[in-house]
Amino acid sequence: MRILRVDPEKCTGDQVCINIAPDVFEMNSEGKAYVKDQVGADEETLQKAVKQCPSGAIYWEEAFDE
C-alpha cells in the first residue's frame, strides 16, 4: 500500500495541491499543506498533485504491513 505524504520542510504553501485536490489536501496554521484524506480523489488526480507541486513536497511512501 502507498501512502501520500507532504514534507512540511519542503512545502512552500503555494496551494497548488489544494487547487488540484481540495478534498485531499488542507493547509495547517503554519501555511503548510498536509494530507487530510488520501481517498478524497482518484489515483490520476493524486499523481497530478505530486507532479505539479512546485517544491516537490508531495510524495508517495510505501507502507508495509507487519
In this predicted structure, the answer to whether residue 65 has a pLDDT above a threshold of 70 is no
What are the distances in angstroms from CA 7 to CA 12, 50, 65?
A: 10, 12, 22
> What are the domain boundaries of the chain?
2-62
State the average pLDDT over residues 7-16: 97
State the average pLDDT over residues 53-59: 98
State the average pLDDT over residues 26-34: 97
Average pLDDT, the chain: 95
In this predicted structure, the answer to whether residue 50 has a pLDDT above a threshold of 70 is yes
pTM of the full predicted structure? Answer: 0.91
| Domain 2-62: top CATH class | alpha beta
> Among 60, 43, 57, which residue's Cα sits nearest to residue 2?
60
